[in-house]
Structure 1
Amino acid sequence: KRLLLDIYHDIKPEYLQNYLNEFCYKFNRRYFGESLFDRLLIAAVTYKNQFRCNNG
């Protein structure tokens, strides 16, 4: 709660989920550092498309 109050001076209930999403995102990537781009590149290269498109 203190962290939210330090960052956001006015917490509105309708935006609470957005605040929590941002906090979780920052918390989860705190140890990635420079490897974040490498992980993104690997995910992009190894991505398998699950959808088919019939344009014709």
Structure 2
Amino acid sequence: CATGDVTIVSHGAVGALLLAHLRGVPITRALDQPGMGSVFRFDAPAWRATSGWRRVPAT
């Protein structure tokens, strides 16, 4: 089994659906990303979210 970080890049709506699933909560627009270029972290082996959405800083 490989270890390390994995990045999933998707449309924000897909991220919101995944975030709802990881949190075990109903799908809601409240889980939409706050703006383009947002990320959240999750623990894949535990299959749970470890953060909410955060904006990626502009460079």
Normalised to the residue count of structure 2, the TM-score between the two structures is 0.27
Higher relative CO (CA 8 A, sep ≥ 6), structure 1 or 2?
2
Normalised to the residue count of structure 1, the TM-score between the two structures is 0.28
Task: Name the structure where helix makes up a greater proportion of residues.
Answer: 1
Bigger radius of gyration, 1 or 2? 1
